Chain A
Amino acid sequence: DAGVIQSPRHEVTEMGQEVTLRCKPISGHNSLFWYRQTMMRGLELLIYFNNNVPIDDSGMPEDRFSAKMPNASFSTLKIQPSEPRDSAVYFCASSFAGGNTEAFFGQGTRLTVV
Chain B
Amino acid sequence: SQELEQSPQSLIVQEGKNLTINCTSSKTLYGLYWYKQKYGEGLIFLMMLQKGGEEKSHEKITAKLDEKKQQSSLHITASQPSHAGIYLCGADIGNAGNMLTFGGGTRLMVKP
Number of B residues with CB within 8 Å of any CB on chain A? 26
Q: Which residues of chain A are near B30, meaning CB under 8 Å?
A: 100
Residue B97 is within 8 A (CB to CB) of chain A in the complex? yes
| Total residue contacts A-B, CB cutoff 8 A | 68
Q: How large is the interface on A (under 10, 10 to 19, 20 to 34, 35 or more residues)?
A: 20 to 34
Contact B42 A91 (CB under 8 A): yes
Contact B42 A101 (CB under 8 A): no
Residue A14 is within 8 A (CB to CB) of chain B in the complex? no
Report Cα–Cα, A56/B93, bound state, in Å: 14
Contact B98 A98 (CB under 8 A): yes
**Residues 5-16 of chain A, each 1 if its beta carbon lies under 8 Å from chain B, else 0:** 000000000000
Q: Which residues of chain B are near A4, meaning CB under 8 Å?
A: 42
B84, chain A: closest CB distance, angstroms: 18
Report Cα–Cα, A4/B42, bound state, in Å: 10
* Residues of B near any A CB (own CB < 8 A): 1, 30-31, 33, 35, 40-45, 48, 50, 88, 90, 92, 96-105
